[in-house]
Amino acid sequence: MNNRYVVPQKRLGVQELEVKPLLTTTNGKKLKLSAMVDSGCTHTCIDEELVKKKKIPTKKLERPITCRNSDGTIAGKKDITKFVKMDLNINGHNKQLDAVVTPLQSSDLFLGHDWLTNHNPKIDWKQGIIKFNRCPASCSFPHSDISFEPGIRQLQSNEDTEEKEPDPTNPEDLPAYMKPFAHLFNKKNFDKLPERTEWDHEINFTENAPTEISSKVYSMTPLEREELDKFLDENLATNRIRPSKSPYAAPCFFVPKKDGSLRLCQDYRKLNDITIKDKTPLPLISEVLDQLKDAKVFNKLDIIWGYNNVRIREGDEWKAAFLTNRGLFEPTVMFFGMSNSPATFSRMMATIFREMIQEGSLANYMDDFIIPAKDDEELEARTIRFLKIAEKHNLSFKRTKCEFNVSSTTVLGTVIGNGKATMEEEKVKAIRDWAVPTTVKQVESFLGFANFYRRFIKNFSTIAQPLNELKSKKGEKWYWNDEQQQAFEQIKQAIASEPVLALPKDKGKFRVEVDASNYGTGAVLSQEQENKWHPVAFMSKTLSEAERNYEIYDKELLAIIKALKLWRHYLLDAKERFEIWTDHENLKYFREPQKLNARQARWYLMLQEYDFLLRHIPGKTNTKADILSRLIKPDTSNDNRGVEMFKEKMFIRRLEESTPIYDVTLLHNRRFEILADETVLEKIRKCERRETRILEEMKKQPEKVWENKGIIYRQGRIYVPDNQEIRDFILHDHHNSPDAGHPGTYRMLESVKRTFWWPTIKTDIRRYVRGCDMCQKNKTIRRPDHIPLNPLPIPDKPWEEISIDMIGPLPKSKEKDAIIVIVDRFSKMIHLVPTTTSLTSMDLAEIYKEEVWRHHGIPKRIISDRGPQFASKFMESLCKALGIERNLSTAYHPQTDGQTERMNQEIETYLRAFINYRQDDWTRWLPMAEFHYNDKTHAATGQTPFFLNYGLHPWKGNITVETTNPTATSLIEELEDVREEAKAAMEANNEMMRERGNNKHHKDSFAEGDKVWLETTNIHSNRPTRKLDHKRYGPFEILKQIGDRSYKLKLPDTWAIHDVFHTSLLTKVRDPEFDSQKKPTPPPPDIINEEEEYEVEEIRGHRRKGRGIQFLVHWKGYGNEDDSWIPRSSLENAEEALSEYKAKLPNGKL
């Protein structure tokens, strides 16, 4: 609330206007109030006694407001300190507002100057009417009227009727400068056949299109036959159709309009299936909005009968023929239902109004035209120019959908006005209108919905704590206090604003989740932005009395129709096919040809416009849409036969049982995110090029070095100039990100060189890897074995031989406590499968079938150690039945299976770098670990597993190096050559393995003051398992040498262990050389009550000590070795960290 408002208690009598009753919704309660319109009152006010009597929740103002009379004297005995939030409903005109609480005398509510300024209503004192015709676009019914009579001043009902076109002979509601063009708002202007133009609609067929399309004549009622005759006679007279002898025939049927009249529709689905799709894009939503953002005033016009203003290309008319009981006819103009109609119409509008659009005096999206201007004079001139062009091309407009001289308007779901673009109120109305819970079950429902978006809401667990308390007290007496109300409002506000609710972007796949209950329909529109699914809009609609009587399949389809209508501007020209998530078990009815009623026929016609797939999501897992469909509980024939509503291909099939689908944050490839927005590329373009070598190469060898759009390419790779900041960023991203996974020098070099190059790239990468503290702490140090290695023979091709091993037991993660590791011995490709240590031979066989056989077939040999899984008779018989030769490794020392052991170490190293302290989220990182390994060059083969299997590298973003595009034949030949080279490389590598056993290992030497890593051997860890814990702790400073082979270290004060260690447990720290690797200096302690206090970053565990509880604290800016056990009494200023820790515990209890 803004504290600058002054609220006088005396009203200006000449401008008083009382309206009652007035419906307001606050705290979920509906109240009928009397109201006074008072322009002398600077802010809307509500009576203090009413607020107390009705127990309306209030909020505290940031600063008190002093009330003053019109002469400046102080009014009242006390300042205003509270306000209430309410939804104001005046005869269907809805708007949310805040009202300050103060004593009133004659009315419950004063609608003050702020309300008048916001809505700018037109007041007709003579007729006693307030017109809401200049409202902001966020009002739900911006054209409602209030009527009043002297002494009574009652609200007059305003029924929502069927839209009717105004009479052009009496254009009273048109601005004066538009009256000469009144005929453009009348259907009679449409009767002339349009001329042929450059944008005539083309119908081009795909290869192997059928030579004929047959259909049957649908039977019609006498009334429908009468309407058909009327349609045919009128359109034959205007030459919009003509008799045909076409081998193609589309069926037709009637769809009732809301006013009871009938509209003839052609079923062009078979035609659309064989039509080459026109890829002409619709205007970008972002560009349309940019054209309008700085305007002060707008006119908005909606074109009507647009498609019939476009001729079909001469010679293509026969392709669109339709069959009736009077014979076959073909249209000469574009009809509704043809697949490329939107593209053709968009191209037509862009051509006709090209000059106005290019100069910024007109914005257009499909049939919507918005004329922006800085003032009324400019708006008038632009509108007259626009209407003259429309008149020339015989275009007409629908008056009921037009807006004139408004200061703000809704365009493509966004409110434009006052120099900014904001979210349309309709998008968040379902959330803002969420009624206050009155039971624990309703609280659980609300929190269940909010939990889907908790990752976007800062401190969610702390905010939601008062509501969680109600859940934990289920069965006890219900209560709802200010604390719960504040938490409820705060979460609603967070969900209905950024970053949870996102403005839609031009690029990014859409998803619609819908559900229907017995009382309403709910939907969530989401878009994938930066690899995360963000909600874009919410919908919650109450079913009418008639709709509540629909069959369940009709209700489910109605939810889809309502969502598509509401979000049409996003979904109609979506760049990718979007998915509709619904419990489509209820839609099976429409998968078979049915006799459609009038309502279903209208839906069927609308569905043809969209390119979507239906994905089944069981009702119990479709939580978001399900909750929205149940938010509000109200008080409790056409002969179209043989129409198949949904084709089989529109459904995503399930294999066996459906797997529940939830919101998952996918692998976020930061590298290609920043390149996609060209931040790095722009820096490279602007960077000064100082190296003479690359510039000389570009002059002497233009076929190897060239420049394109400010970027230099060297043999197809982007040249990075001598700029440490840019090179450091690239190195950091190719080493530290989850899909990079902290590779060694060899693999990191191969990865970076796929895209980038600079002269010192190899040296820089070696220095970067040496200085990475995460690698130094976690990676296994390769020490020579003293037993000679005996590598197995090399297979001839991928997946002939595989090795299998298990990593475990691990801390439970999603009920799994082990990992099955399956490795192809030729390509080194791996598959990682979470499982349990109680795995049986039958379970392992099932994993093999699902994860290996379905991708790669049956191997000739499986290599494994003698685990109980392979020793069982079942696996023995399975191997024999599949023709798989068993080759168990040497007892107690399985070096024939060495590659799997090394693989296990690499997987554990990767997980150590990214899992949380509790080690219970490793299943989340397993897919990234698998991708990371399969995309890295293997030392033994010289290639990545991906490339050896498929002959290409996976595409991971928007950067594509410039190179040639080989033919399929050359690609196969190249892949065969590469595999031969890989086999030779593996044989050479085997020779190196045989000789490795005799090599001697040289340990580092240390001096006083050196920093070292300490092996974790024999050191107790607070983490669940050593397998996923750091290999080394530190770094620690050497204080002095003790004897020949031991050193005394400076350990943390909290470590109660001996501080002298043998040299075999120490490794010298390699200092980082790049800025991105250097850790910031730990923050200084805060001074609280004259005592130092360090900031708690995270609480990682708890234990009972005596009669109290201690918590394991991780301090902000410090390493794990500085973690310490702290009693509860010392954590008074860390309540948020404590709440977050408790929220992660089972049942939220210690």
CB 774 within 8 A of CB 742: yes
- H/E run at residue 887: strand 885-888
Report the pLDDT averaged over residues 373-378: 91
What is residue 695's predicted lDDT score, i.e. its pLDDT? Answer: 67
Report the pLDDT averaged over residues 222-244: 89
Report the pLDDT averaged over residues 527-531: 80
Average pLDDT over the chain reads 72
pLDDT tens per residue across span 890-914 = 322 344 445 666 777 788 877 877 7
What is residue 440's predicted lDDT score, i.e. its pLDDT? Answer: 82
Distance CA 24, CA 89 (A): 6
What is residue 988's predicted lDDT score, i.e. its pLDDT? Answer: 53
Residue 184 pLDDT greater than 50, yes or no: yes
Banded pLDDT at 362 (limits 50, 70, 90)? very high
Domains 13-147 and 801-995 alike in fold: no
| CA dihedral of 189, 195, 200, 201, whole degrees rounded to 10 | 50
Report the pLDDT averaged over residues 805-819: 85
Residue 154 pLDDT greater than 70, yes or no: no
Distance CA 366, CA 345 (A): 7
Banded pLDDT at 689 (limits 50, 70, 90)? low
Bigger pLDDT: 40 vs 133: 40
Report the pLDDT averaged over residues 519-526: 81
Distance CA 178, CA 184 (A): 10
Report the pLDDT averaged over residues 237-251: 92
What is residue 973's predicted lDDT score, i.e. its pLDDT? Answer: 52
pLDDT tens per residue across span 744-786 = 777 788 778 878 888 888 888 888 888 887 777 666 665 444 4
Report the pLDDT averaged over residues 1086-1090: 54
Lowest mean pLDDT among 349-363, 588-602, 638-652: 638-652
- Give long-range contacts, CB 8 A cutoff, 24+ apart: 93-99: 93/132, 93/135, 93/139, 93/140, 93/141, 93/142, 93/144, 94/139, 94/140, 94/141, 95/119, 95/135, 95/138, 95/139, 95/140, 96/425, 96/432, 97/44, 98/1, 98/44, 99/43, 99/44, 99/45, 99/46
Residue 125 pLDDT greater than 90, yes or no: no
Distance CA 895, CA 918 (A): 33
Report the pLDDT averaged over residues 498-516: 73
Report the pLDDT averaged over residues 554-570: 84
What is residue 332's predicted lDDT score, i.e. its pLDDT? Answer: 94
What is residue 611's predicted lDDT score, i.e. its pLDDT? Answer: 80
Banded pLDDT at 982 (limits 50, 70, 90)? low
What is residue 1083's predicted lDDT score, i.e. its pLDDT? Answer: 56
Provide the token pair at 153: 């001043």
Q: What's the pTM value of the predicted model, to 2 decimals? A: 0.36
What is residue 1057's predicted lDDT score, i.e. its pLDDT? Answer: 74
Residue 660 pLDDT greater than 60, yes or no: no
Banded pLDDT at 423 (limits 50, 70, 90)? low
What is residue 525's predicted lDDT score, i.e. its pLDDT? Answer: 86
Banded pLDDT at 698 (limits 50, 70, 90)? low
Bigger pLDDT: 833 vs 1084: 833
Most confident stretch, 111-115, 386-390, 559-563, 869-873: 386-390
What is residue 384's predicted lDDT score, i.e. its pLDDT? Answer: 94
Give the right CATH number for 187-423 from 3.90.1170.50, 3.10.10.10, 3.40.50.11540, 3.40.50.2300.
Answer: 3.10.10.10
CATH classification of 427-636 is 2.60.130.10, yes or no?
A: no
What is residue 21's predicted lDDT score, i.e. its pLDDT? Answer: 44
Distance CA 343, CA 733 (A): 41
Closest CA to 732 of 759, 684, 775, 765: 765
Ordered by start, the domain boundaries in the chain are 13-147, 187-423, 427-636, 670-772, 801-995, 1011-1077, 1086-1148
CATH classification of 670-772 is 3.30.450.20, yes or no?
A: no
CATH number belonging to domain 1086-1148:
2.40.50.40
pLDDT tens per residue across span 278-316 = 877 767 666 777 678 778 899 999 887 667 778 999 999
Report the pLDDT averaged over residues 528-553: 76
Evaluate the CA torsion angle 619, 622, 625, 630 in order and state its sign.
positive
Distance CA 987, CA 942 (A): 12
What is residue 386's predicted lDDT score, i.e. its pLDDT? Answer: 95
Distance CA 785, CA 898 (A): 12
CB 887 within 8 A of CB 827: no
User: What whole-number percentage of the chain has pLDDT above 90?
Assistant: 7
Residue 160 pLDDT greater than 50, yes or no: no
Residues in Cβ contact with 393 at an 8 Å cutoff, skipping those fewer than 6 apart: 194, 309, 352
Bigger pLDDT: 919 vs 506: 919
Provide the token pair at 501: 């609710």
What is residue 882's predicted lDDT score, i.e. its pLDDT? Answer: 63
User: What whole-number percentage of the chain has pLDDT above 70?
Assistant: 65
What is residue 732's predicted lDDT score, i.e. its pLDDT? Answer: 81
Residue 30 pLDDT greater than 50, yes or no: yes
pLDDT tens per residue across span 918-957 = 778 888 888 888 887 888 777 677 778 888 887 777 765 5
Lowest mean pLDDT among 60-69, 241-250, 379-388: 60-69
Distance CA 817, CA 920 (A): 9
What is residue 1137's predicted lDDT score, i.e. its pLDDT? Answer: 81
pLDDT tens per residue across span 36-67 = 887 778 888 899 888 888 888 888 877 778 78
Report the pLDDT averaged over residues 688-711: 69
CB 147 within 8 A of CB 123: no
Cα dist from 1114 to 205, 776, 1101, 1126, whole Å: 66, 21, 10, 10
Phi-psi region of 787 (alpha: psi -120 to 50; beta: other; left: phi over 0): beta
Banded pLDDT at 984 (limits 50, 70, 90)? low
CATH number belonging to domain 13-147:
2.40.70.10
Report the pLDDT averaged over residues 984-999: 52
Residue 535 pLDDT greater than 80, yes or no: no
What is residue 779's predicted lDDT score, i.e. its pLDDT? Answer: 62
Phi, psi of 851 (to 5 degrees): -100, -20
Bigger pLDDT: 867 vs 346: 346
CB 2 within 8 A of CB 42: no
Bigger pLDDT: 632 vs 355: 355
Bigger pLDDT: 188 vs 233: 233
Closest CA to 512 of 492, 497, 527: 527
Which residue's structure tokens are 């360090």?
A: 1094
CATH classification of 801-995 is 3.90.1150.10, yes or no?
A: no
